[in-house]
A and B are shown apart, each in its own frame.
Chain A
């Protein structure tokens, strides 16, 4: 715990980490305080005021139903963060578990896991995700599953090689001599020593999870209207691009802001926790 506080203090000295945290703080505040910050609800329509530009009443303008784009973007941060976190938790669990198993047992187990890992490189992740969504049917839940299923390979690869290096350390050999079970060795002696890499990978997986899920929602395969998903708002805005460009511009800016925040945070963390990690 003390080490964590120390490394946090260290991390704040790294500029990318500090800037990234500041950016993300605004996103988290927007998500938590959405009902307070948003002047309207995300569904409230005002047809006479449809497609009006940014004003005091509607800071980001209104869409074709006269809904407040600002409020929708604010509420959208909840979807983006929630979806991003769920995707990343699933892919971290799959990737770390497979990486540990492959690295620890080696041999045939390793070969099978590595083949499955390499398999996911056989298709571009977006295309594989599209294929999965086709099979499961379009919905936000299925998009979460699809994106998580296609993106754990990075975790497995890196945790595998870390585990291979760690399993020959004296303390792991000592644990084995004391006849600790394999599971306990993996979880108590190896996993804690890969935590730095796991934290960095997780942070850097978040922005791509948000980009992928909003892209699928943008294609009409994920979140469905009237959910204020950033991808959905953007897509709805395309038809009114010439008359009301603000509908599409602002949710896009929100995505860039959030993704940028996570990217900077992740790079800062890497510089502090595991500078040699290649992601």
Chain B
């Protein structure tokens, strides 16, 4: 298990490293000379050269990359081109809002999807099952931005239960969280349903019935225990997905989080902020992917043996 976890973790670090290389390359490819941006027109070529030296821009590209990476590792993400504030400060003030939103949406998603998927599977082909599958197919097809507008129109404009947008107390999180949850729900629901249906057909379930276990015990001890492994793994993989979705949702509801900051920064080409946020999201994504892999390895020895290449 330890070897498996180390391998997964090492791979995660490698991936984050690769993301920083790509980001740096993109920055190099962007047109424009940073010195010309900050230099005033009367500056002499010698002075510009001096500045270039001072900022390390006369160094080879790979040296520049390592300087840049070193600053990143020290938490120095540069300053915003637009506001002049440190990027780390901008992100730090918004990250808690995004994590609260994505976290709540994740909990809501699982609290709704897993029981519904289980019910649908147990009552397979009943009217209830068909209804649940039908609704989830519709939700699966709904764009988040449209759902957000509908919820806002219905529950903030027509019937003013919740605040329209921005952050003004705990009630503000309800509509954005619902908007983020509902379309995501469908995937988890269907995964739960199909995994349960698959587990039910396994021979060990037949054995469990054959030795006379009551069906509730079979369902919980044998079926659910195996069916929920992929579902649990999906729990960790959902977080990045929700972080991505939060860009749209935060923009609609003016939620003061990182997604909205990303959107605004893209609009004004505020590259340092965009880079900082993308790296943070990559780190969060890799952490949750690695956590998902490790949990799956803990729950299912077959997965970890496949990676470790141990005898089977």
- Give residues in A with beta carbon < 8 Å to B: 118-119, 121-127, 130-131, 133-135, 138, 207, 211, 214-215, 218-221, 231, 234-235, 237-238, 241-242, 245, 248-249, 251-252, 255-256, 259-260, 263-264
Q: Contacts of A231 on B, CB cut-off 8 Å?
A: 145
Whole-angstrom distance between the alpha carbons of A235 and B248 in the complex? 11
- Cβ B267 vs Cβ A234 within 8 A: no
- Cβ A241 vs Cβ B244 within 8 A: no
Known: A122-B285, A131-B274, A256-B138. A234 touches B145 (CB 8 A): yes
Q: Contacts of B100 on A, CB cut-off 8 Å?
A: none
- Stretch from B13-21, B37-45, B54-62 forming part of the interface with A: B13-21
Whole-angstrom distance between the alpha carbons of A123 and B150 in the complex? 29
- Cβ A123 vs Cβ B278 within 8 A: yes
Q: Contacts of A220 on B, CB cut-off 8 Å?
A: 267
Known: A123-B285, A131-B274. A218 touches B145 (CB 8 A): yes
| 16 A-B residue pairs with CB within 8 Å | A118-B11, A119-B15, A119-B19, A122-B19, A122-B289, A123-B19, A123-B240, A130-B262, A130-B263, A207-B141, A214-B143, A215-B144, A249-B150, A256-B141, A256-B143, A263-B141
Residue of A nearest to B283 (CB): A122
- Cβ B141 vs Cβ A259 within 8 A: yes
Whole-angstrom distance between the alpha carbons of A131 and B279 in the complex? 11
Known: A135-B26, A260-B138, A263-B141. A119 touches B18 (CB 8 A): yes
Q: Contacts of A249 on B, CB cut-off 8 Å?
A: 150
Whole-angstrom distance between the alpha carbons of A221 and B241 in the complex? 20
Residue of B nearest to A218 (CB): B145
Q: Contacts of A218 on B, CB cut-off 8 Å?
A: 143, 145, 248
* B294 is an interface residue with CB less than 8 A from chain A: no
Neighbour of A264 across the interface among B137, B150, B243, B285, CB < 8 A:
B137
The SS class assigned to the B binding surface is helix
Neighbour of A135 across the interface among B29, B150, B157, B267, CB < 8 A:
B29
Tell me how far the C-beta of A219 lies from the nearest C-beta in chain B, rounded to whole angstroms: 6
- Cβ A127 vs Cβ B137 within 8 A: no
B140, B142, B146: which has the most chain A beta carbons within 10 Å?
B146
- Cβ B137 vs Cβ A260 within 8 A: yes
- Cβ A124 vs Cβ B15 within 8 A: no
Whole-angstrom distance between the alpha carbons of A122 and B140 in the complex? 23
Residue of A nearest to B194 (CB): A278
* B90 is an interface residue with CB less than 8 A from chain A: no
Known: A124-B240, A125-B244, A130-B247. A241 touches B269 (CB 8 A): no
Q: Which 10 A-B pairs have the closest CB atoms?
A: A124-B244, A252-B146, A126-B244, A260-B141, A259-B141, A124-B240, A122-B15, A135-B26, A218-B145, A134-B266
Whole-angstrom distance between the alpha carbons of A248 and B263 in the complex? 21
- Cβ B243 vs Cβ A124 within 8 A: yes
Neighbour of B142 across the interface among A130, A234, A256, CB < 8 A:
A256
Chain B interface residue count, CB cutoff 8 Å, equals: 45
Q: Contacts of B262 on A, CB cut-off 8 Å?
A: 127, 130
Whole-angstrom distance between the alpha carbons of A241 and B145 in the complex? 13
- Give residues in B with beta carbon < 8 Å to A: 11, 15-16, 18-19, 23, 26, 29-30, 137-138, 140-146, 149-150, 152-153, 157, 240-241, 243-245, 247-248, 251-252, 262-263, 266-267, 269, 271, 274, 278, 281-282, 285-286, 289
- Cβ B274 vs Cβ A134 within 8 A: yes
Whole-angstrom distance between the alpha carbons of A214 and B248 in the complex? 11
Q: Contacts of B137 on A, CB cut-off 8 Å?
A: 260, 263-264
Q: Contacts of A242 on B, CB cut-off 8 Å?
A: 153, 157
Tell me how far the C-beta of A100 lies from the nearest C-beta in chain B, rounded to whole angstroms: 23
- Cβ B30 vs Cβ A135 within 8 A: yes
- Cβ A123 vs Cβ B282 within 8 A: yes
Whole-angstrom distance between the alpha carbons of A133 and B269 in the complex? 10
Q: Contacts of A130 on B, CB cut-off 8 Å?
A: 247, 262-263, 266
Neighbour of A252 across the interface among B138, B149, B240, B274, CB < 8 A:
B149
Q: Contacts of B149 on A, CB cut-off 8 Å?
A: 234, 237-238, 241, 248, 252
Residue of A nearest to B248 (CB): A215
Tell me how far the C-beta of B202 lies from the nearest C-beta in chain A, rounded to whole angstroms: 16
Residue of A nearest to B239 (CB): A124
Whole-angstrom distance between the alpha carbons of A68 and B284 in the complex? 45
Whole-angstrom distance between the alpha carbons of A120 and B285 in the complex? 11
A123, A234, A237, A263: which has the most chain B beta carbons within 10 Å?
A123
Neighbour of B143 across the interface among A131, A133, A215, A238, CB < 8 A:
A215
Whole-angstrom distance between the alpha carbons of A222 and B289 in the complex? 30
Q: Contacts of A221 on B, CB cut-off 8 Å?
A: 266
- Cβ A252 vs Cβ B18 within 8 A: no
Tell me how far the C-beta of B31 lies from the nearest C-beta in chain A, rounded to whole angstroms: 10
Whole-angstrom distance between the alpha carbons of A237 and B252 in the complex? 12
Known: A245-B153, A252-B149. A211 touches B267 (CB 8 A): no
Neighbour of B248 across the interface among A119, A138, A219, A251, CB < 8 A:
A219
- Cβ B146 vs Cβ A248 within 8 A: yes
Tell me how far the C-beta of B286 lies from the nearest C-beta in chain A, rounded to whole angstroms: 6
Residue of B nearest to A132 (CB): B26
Whole-angstrom distance between the alpha carbons of A135 and B144 in the complex? 25
- Cβ A255 vs Cβ B285 within 8 A: no
- Cβ A122 vs Cβ B157 within 8 A: no
- Cβ A219 vs Cβ B251 within 8 A: yes
